[in-house]
Chain A
Amino acid sequence: MKTVLRLLATASAVAFASSAAMAAGELNVYNWGNYTSPEMIKKFEEKFDVKVNLDGYDSNEAMLAKVKAGDTGYDIVVPGDYMIKVMIGEGLLEEVKPNEMENFKNVDPNWVDVWWDPGRNYSIPYQWGTTSFTVDTAVYDGDVDTLALLFDPPEVLKGRINMLNDMNDVINAGLRYLGYGRCNGNQDELREVLALLSKAKPHWRTMDYAVIEKLTSKDVDISQSWNGAAMRARAQRPTLKYAYPKEGFTGWMDNVAVLKGAPNLDNAKLFINFMMDPENAGLTSNFARYANGILGSDKFMEPEMLSAPEIVMPASAPAPDFVTPCPQEVVDLYNKIWTQLKQ
């Protein structure tokens, strides 16, 4: 027993020493969980002789809370659109001027003058997609393109629904189903939303971010979902179909940005430029299964990505709705609705 332990200790010591010797520098990446291509990271590590440490979060808000608490040691974060705007406003991001970098020419002009970072002084596109829901057509074979499946479900889907554990995604879907506007401060309309959600909640089995796991384990048959997650779930459960509800759905973009006070600022800048290279954006898309906003990356993407129904929207689908951050009064109202709903 003792010899085994000693052997183990020696082996791990050797492993530590060798990994430390290899890395000339480090880069600490804080990205959404299960969202970073290991192949792309390996390529970056080898090209620049930098050791990349990866850590994950499951919501923009969780990331913000940790970053605000200070001294995280992270260099790179990947916030969603509205969160970029919030973080720029709070002075949490370093103005690294990606728009002056060599690879910026590859960024799709449609994604340059965006409302969350006009002209791209702080961030670059990482992945973009939509938030809707995905249904197992073997369980329910009717029309999937309506939010009624979540809020007024047919008998077969009752108790088989997962909603994202996300205040904004759930409330926004409710607002769309009732035909009301987003970031809504209208109290009568919000009262109706609360009634709608409370009535639907008994039919929901779970409220969880782990969409792929919930669907592939067959814990649920329908789940609110991001399009890429829906595609990854479909790989293991081929009867899943991603819906483009006629009432509308959310569009979003996650963006690579550098935290103010990043300990490895130079490596972080290298990483930003590296991520604008079409081949690397393609690697990321092949893993995370979303579109990326970098021109020429489709050459490096798997062919099934280019025709996937989760990525290529049908002509009949409404345009995705990019939701801007809501004013604090509205956030307060949303919070109250959310707490009431989950009490």
Chain B
Amino acid sequence: MSDREPQSALAAAIDQNKRNERVTRAWLLAPALAIILAISILPLGITVVYSFLTPGTYGGVTWEFSTDSYVQFLFQRDIFDDTLVFNSAYVSIFLRSIGLALGATLGALILGFPTAYFIATKPREQRNIWLFLITLPFWTNLLIRTYAMLLIIRDEGIINIMLMKAGIISSPLTILYTDTAVFIGLIYSFLPFMVLPIYASLEKLDFSLVEAGYDLYANRLKVLFHVIVPLAKPGIVAGCILVFIPGLGAYITPELLGGGKKLMIGNMIAMQFGASRNWPFGSAAALILMALVIVVLLVNALAARRGASNNG
């Protein structure tokens, strides 16, 4: 009886302590949450609101509710009479962007995985130097790097001049201002996003498992696909997402290297705020793009959960 009281006092003290801790934590989190609210939720809210308004004559919006922006994405009142017909223009712009982004992701994976593996298998003290080299291009602005790429692949650029001097080709290869140029540019820009997460999972890989694979008479390919890749999968998935998403919305690369003849999503959205003077449609297109990204992330999350429950 007598020792119960101090015990409940102790429990109360612990409770109080916990409550204090919770309050402190809330206060410490508040500034970060406020910033997130101000710089991410608020602009998004404005975009949502604008996408349901009517375009102003010379840009801007007039405060009149309309769902035209979303209708316009799939249908158009025929250019010349007023019937609603299916319009493939914006859909094909989206599909092209998705195709280019997927291609760039695949390219970055093919280049990035061996690079990450190479770094992860180096002696520990050398790895930082290699990682440093991977991140080195990030010291320069993306625009400058893309311009440099333009100088390298243009008709009278370094690649063509070297190939012609070597007598391999007689007239310059047309690389610049094609989809190939955009591929090269996207892969170059986003490669580190692929290498770093894959490296992070390979670094933790227990190489005795690889040796075990060999001991069990697996050949190199089998070891790669049945031991290394499954263990590196989280890194590969993260890398693919990190390349695919910015690739989808890329603006500078298609603008500079693509020659401006075909629109990608990013350029199409930018155009709505410039020459087309249709801010609501630009907002709607940006939201549709975001919805696409969210779908990709959801699919990934679902797949990850299923994988986890299967293993469990």
Stretch of B23-31, B184-192, B273-281 contacting A (4+ beta carbons < 8 Å): B273-281
* Residue of A191, A207, A336, A338 touching B261 (CB-CB under 8 A): A207
B90 contact set on A, CB distance < 8 A: 339, 343
Output the residue of A166, A191, A340, A343 with the most chain B CB within 10 A.
A343
Q: Across the interface, do A61 and B155 meet the contact criterion of CB distance under 8 Å?
A: no
CA distance A220 to B290 in the complex (A): 37
Stretch of A32-40, A124-132, A198-206 contacting B (4+ beta carbons < 8 Å): A198-206
CA distance A205 to B260 in the complex (A): 9
Which A residues from 286 to 317 make CB contacts under 8 A with B? none
Q: Across the interface, do A219 and B176 meet the contact criterion of CB distance under 8 Å?
A: yes
Q: Across the interface, do A205 and B275 meet the contact criterion of CB distance under 8 Å?
A: no
Q: Across the interface, do B277 and A331 meet the contact criterion of CB distance under 8 Å?
A: yes
A329 → B minimal CB distance (Å): 11
A166 contact set on B, CB distance < 8 A: 275
Taking the complex as formed, is B306 at the interface, i.e. its CB lies under 8 A from any CB of chain A?
no
Given contacts A61-B275, A159-B174, A205-B261, 16 further A-B contacts (CB under 8 A): A59-B275, A90-B58, A165-B260, A188-B80, A190-B79, A201-B261, A204-B261, A207-B260, A217-B155, A331-B277, A333-B79, A335-B275, A335-B278, A336-B76, A336-B79, A342-B263
CA distance A318 to B218 in the complex (A): 80
Q: Across the interface, do B277 and A205 meet the contact criterion of CB distance under 8 Å?
A: no
1/0 contact string of A30-50 vs chain B (CB within 8 Å): 000000000000000000000
CA distance A246 to B274 in the complex (A): 31
Measuring CB to CB, which residues of chain A are less than 8 angstroms from any residue of chain B? 59, 61-62, 64-65, 68, 86, 89-90, 159, 165-167, 187-188, 190-191, 194, 201, 204-208, 217-219, 328, 331, 333, 335-340, 342-343
B274 contact set on A, CB distance < 8 A: 59, 61-62, 65
* Residue of B59, B79, B174, B260 touching A208 (CB-CB under 8 A): B260
Taking the complex as formed, is B156 at the interface, i.e. its CB lies under 8 A from any CB of chain A?
yes
A205 contact set on B, CB distance < 8 A: 177, 259, 261
A78 → B minimal CB distance (Å): 17
Measuring CB to CB, which residues of chain B are less than 8 angstroms from any residue of chain A? 57-60, 76, 79-81, 88-90, 92-93, 154-156, 174, 176-177, 259-263, 268, 273-278
Q: Across the interface, do A187 and B259 meet the contact criterion of CB distance under 8 Å?
A: no
Q: Across the interface, do B278 and A219 meet the contact criterion of CB distance under 8 Å?
A: no
Q: Across the interface, do A68 and B58 meet the contact criterion of CB distance under 8 Å?
A: yes
Known contacts being A86-B58, A342-B262, is A187 close to B156, with CB within 8 Å? no
A339 contact set on B, CB distance < 8 A: 89-90, 263, 268, 276
A188 contact set on B, CB distance < 8 A: 80
B237 → A minimal CB distance (Å): 32
* Residue of A61, A65, A328, A340 touching B79 (CB-CB under 8 A): A340
Q: Across the interface, do A190 and B57 meet the contact criterion of CB distance under 8 Å?
A: no
Q: Across the interface, do A343 and B263 meet the contact criterion of CB distance under 8 Å?
A: yes
CA distance A339 to B176 in the complex (A): 23
Q: Across the interface, do B261 and A342 meet the contact criterion of CB distance under 8 Å?
A: yes
Known contacts being A61-B275, A68-B59, A86-B58, is A219 close to B260, with CB within 8 Å? no
Of the A-B pairs whose beta carbons lie under 8 Å apart in the complex, a sample of 12, sorted by A's number, is A61-B277, A65-B273, A165-B260, A190-B80, A191-B80, A206-B259, A217-B155, A217-B156, A218-B156, A336-B76, A339-B276, A343-B262
